[in-house]
Chain A
Amino acid sequence: MIPSRLIYRQIPRSIISPTIRYNSTTTTAQPVKKVESNYFLTQIYPISETEITDKDLDSWIEAVKNLKQGKKIFDTKEEIYLNQIVNNSEEYLKKSFEPSLKQIEESKKYADKAIPLMNDPIVDNLVNLIMRHGKKNLARKVVNRAFFIIQMKLRKDPIEIFKETLDKLGPVVKTRSMSTGFAKKKIVPQPMTERQRNRFAITWILEASKSRKSNDFSVRLAEEIINAYMGKSSGYDKKAQMHKLATQQRAYIQL
């Protein structure tokens, strides 16, 4: 499911705003459209049941204006009708909601289904780590383009490839120095959560992508993700180093 907010951003502006006709001075009288009786307006405006013309709407607006100014003697139909609504305003101000049987049945359809997220949370994490100075759209553009190159190069789902590389590249344990109260500090290995592991892997990918040739960040990022997917990234050395340190200090593991 692609979020509507994102979609809106991806569409060219010319599509969103239809072609506007400039300098138009033509004043051709347009025929007044007749509104059918089943139209929503006739339900809340029962004075003219079959159809509502522009005149009716004007008189409605005038009546609202008059009532707002504090008119107490009512001349027109609209004013009388509106006054009735004002007097029985309690009905309309009720905040309790009782669903109809139809609505209850419909809600059962979606009982098991969760509301889908806008984006994949891991991709969102990558976007947020790339983002600088709150420019999320720019970061998203970089990721989109990088993923497109990955998809074209490997002909697989880039999200799956990215997740796989994070699984491969992410370290399992990190080490933390703890003060013992004496002169010597001890280095304690600690397991990491999935999010922490991903963060390490993503930062290593981003660091490594800086050394690439292209001036375009999206191309560099794509290259580095493909590289890491193939098992050639410099991040693997860092991961091995971290694991080595942790195994050396395994005596201090606290369970």
Chain B
Amino acid sequence: MLRFTVRSINIINIPIRCLSSTNIVSAPFKQKEGKTKQKMVTKKNDKVDVKRSTNLTHLPFGEAVRNLQFEKTASELKIDELTSDFSRGKVFIYPKKIESKLKSMGGFKKFQFQESFAKPITLTTSNTTRINELFVNKLDEKFENNRLYIDGSKGIGKSTLLNQAIALSLLKHNHDIIVLHMDNAEVIGNGSSNYIFNNKLSIYQQPMITRRWIKKILAANEDTFKKMKLTQDVKFTKDKLEIKLTANKHTLYDYLSQNFEFGKTDPHTHFKYLINEIKQHSKNIPVLVSIDNFNAVTDFSLTQYKSPDFNPIHIQEFEMGKFLIDVANGSIGFEKGGVLLSKCNDFAPNRKTIEVAVYPEREYNLYMKQPEFDLELARKLQGIKPFEMTSLTIDESRELMKIWKDQGVLIVRKDFNKKDFNQESSQVVEVDMESQFEKIVLNSFNTSQGNPMGMFKQIALTY
């Protein structure tokens, strides 16, 4: 009976609350007699969480070194900027504009250890002077006749030379040049991207790779593309709206910055249009195409991708692959400019396609088959001139090591000696640090034979 009366009181209360302006949910509950009000209490941990301030990264060494931004901890560099009339055997930094362009293109690679300096540095060697004479000075000539393949052992500075060539040609032409740089050509065939078949063009397209590459070249050639007027009208859709760009009014920059159809998974003809536009402008503006790791394209001509018959697709059946081969072949149709191809020693050294194409006078095994050798492709690539790298001289390497020493990368130490525990008053032997530095220079130069990567590894990665 008592319970009933209590409930009845509650029921009576509700209509009164309903008349009020506030919501019923927000109304406070009537406290039952004899009970204390319950509160939400959060448990407090007695242990104080100590934050580990030096948690660097989850990445492995190669990526960690790039990701941790060590260049911020480096001391200031007081080195001259690279100019077109540079002197040989000196260390330079790139001009600010060129450095940002090279960064956006992916010119500075992993395991080059550029992070150890405040800015990327570069040493001008005999290779630089040679490439200046053989390639950069000939950019105004015919595109077909200006094709070089940079060859050399691992760590000798092939990718660095590509950067130097790009920088020098930008300086020479006052940034009025189209630079189409591809920093990792192996991505076309290594099965890391999506791919679709374009029935109209009867070619395979790789939207992911194409979109990324166009993003890079757009960042690198922004000023040049803004000057280049379109030669043909073009249409594309952006945000479900059709955009029409007219010839002689809009620029190539307008086209590339707005067009996102390169990355769509539907077949399109935009890449063909882009190449055609560059072709039209190449009469006035020279085109520099530089492809790093080019041997990965030719030596792995049968790609990891499979056709509907489950056969491997040839590299030339891809839009980007065909573009690279046509560029290397010279048949792309650019008027002025040149191609720089570079080798990478990380890929199978027993594959001979590019070697046979570049060095036709060398003898080779006639019975070689795929995948070691692709005869058709080798014949197609004939006419490329080899550019063999020479290693650093002793003076050049000494100059480079001085910079390493100033930047705190090379640390000159005393020789390691055994401690004499018994002799209390051991003599303090003074060591001449300059002679010690000279000893390090000679030692590393002799062992690495003037290979900069070998020298760096010996100095900074050996304890």
Residue ranges of A at the interface with B (Cβ–Cβ < 8 Å): 1-2, 4, 6-8, 10-12, 14-15, 19, 21-26, 112, 114, 116-121, 123, 143-145, 147-149, 151-155, 157-159, 212-216, 218-219, 222-223, 226-227, 230, 232
CA distance A232 to B448 in the complex (A): 40
The smallest beta-carbon distance between B5 and chain A, in angstroms, is 63
22 contacts between A and B (CB under 8 A): A2-B462, A7-B444, A11-B447, A12-B155, A15-B153, A117-B417, A118-B416, A121-B418, A121-B419, A144-B462, A148-B461, A149-B65, A153-B73, A155-B75, A213-B58, A214-B57, A214-B60, A223-B55, A226-B54, A230-B53, A230-B54, A232-B52
Q: Does B56 count as interface, using CB distance less than 8 angstroms? A: yes
CA distance A201 to B458 in the complex (A): 28
Supposing A214-B56, A223-B54 touch, asked if A1 and B416 sit within 8 A by C-beta, the answer is yes
Q: Which residue of B lies closest to A13 (CB)?
A: B154
Interface of B is mostly: loop
CA distance A37 to B54 in the complex (A): 68
Q: Does B454 count as interface, using CB distance less than 8 angstroms? A: yes
Supposing A21-B362, A230-B53 touch, asked if A10 and B61 sit within 8 A by C-beta, the answer is no
Residue B74 contacts which of A149, A155, A213, A219 (CB distance < 8 angstroms)? A155
Determine which residue in B75, B364, B408, B416 has the highest number of CB atoms from chain A within 10 A of its CB, and name it: B416
Question: Is A216 within 8 A of B61, CB to CB?
Answer: yes
Determine which residue in B61, B429, B448 has the highest number of CB atoms from chain A within 10 A of its CB, and name it: B61
CA distance A117 to B419 in the complex (A): 11
Question: Is A152 within 8 A of B59, CB to CB?
Answer: no
CA distance A212 to B58 in the complex (A): 8
Question: Is B154 within 8 A of A14, CB to CB?
Answer: yes
Given A11-B451, A14-B154, A216-B60, 20 more A-B residue pairs with CB atoms under 8 Å apart are A1-B416, A1-B439, A1-B443, A2-B462, A10-B458, A10-B461, A14-B153, A19-B153, A121-B419, A149-B61, A151-B411, A151-B460, A152-B115, A153-B68, A154-B73, A214-B57, A216-B61, A219-B57, A230-B53, A232-B50
CA distance A69 to B107 in the complex (A): 67
Q: Report chain B residues within 8 Å CB of A7.
A: 443-444, 447-448, 458, 462
Give 6 closest A-B pairs by Cβ, nearest first.
A116-B415, A152-B70, A216-B60, A14-B153, A117-B416, A213-B58
Supposing A12-B154, A213-B58 touch, asked if A149 and B448 sit within 8 A by C-beta, the answer is no
CA distance A7 to B444 in the complex (A): 8
Residue A213 contacts which of B57, B154, B416, B419 (CB distance < 8 angstroms)? B57
Scan residues 85-124 of chain B and give those whose CB is less than 8 A from a CB of chain A. Answer: 115-116
The smallest beta-carbon distance between B11 and chain A, in angstroms, is 60
The smallest beta-carbon distance between B104 and chain A, in angstroms, is 24
Chain B 441-455 per-residue mask, 1 if CB under 8 angstroms from chain A, else 0: 001100111010110
Q: Report chain A residues within 8 Å CB of B50.
A: 232
Q: Which residue of B lies closest to A2 (CB)?
A: B462
Question: Is A12 within 8 A of B453, CB to CB?
Answer: yes
Q: Does B413 count as interface, using CB distance less than 8 angstroms? A: yes
Q: Does B64 count as interface, using CB distance less than 8 angstroms? A: yes
Question: Is B61 within 8 A of A1, CB to CB?
Answer: no
CA distance A226 to B56 in the complex (A): 10
Question: Is B454 within 8 A of A6, CB to CB?
Answer: no
Q: Report chain A residues within 8 Å CB of B458.
A: 2, 7, 10-11
Residue B454 contacts which of A4, A11, A26 (CB distance < 8 angstroms)? A11
The smallest beta-carbon distance between B231 and chain A, in angstroms, is 46
Q: Does B457 count as interface, using CB distance less than 8 angstroms? A: yes
Q: Does B23 count as interface, using CB distance less than 8 angstroms? A: no
Question: Is A218 within 8 A of B61, CB to CB?
Answer: yes
Q: Report chain B residues within 8 Å CB of A22.
A: 364-365
Scan residues 359-389 of chain B and give those whose CB is less than 8 A from a CB of chain A. Answer: 362-365
The smallest beta-carbon distance between B239 and chain A, in angstroms, is 40
Supposing A15-B449, A117-B417 touch, asked if A152 and B53 sit within 8 A by C-beta, the answer is no
CA distance A55 to B101 in the complex (A): 64
CA distance A214 to B74 in the complex (A): 24
CA distance A113 to B50 in the complex (A): 50
Scan residues 323-369 of chain B and give those whose CB is less than 8 A from a CB of chain A. Answer: 345, 362-365
Q: Report chain B residues within 8 Å CB of A227.
A: 52, 54
Question: Is A219 within 8 A of B61, CB to CB?
Answer: yes
CA distance A213 to B53 in the complex (A): 13
Q: Which residue of A lies closest to B391 (CB)?
A: A15
Question: Is B64 within 8 A of A214, CB to CB?
Answer: yes
The smallest beta-carbon distance between B347 and chain A, in angstroms, is 13
Q: Report chain B residues within 8 Å CB of A120.
A: 416, 463
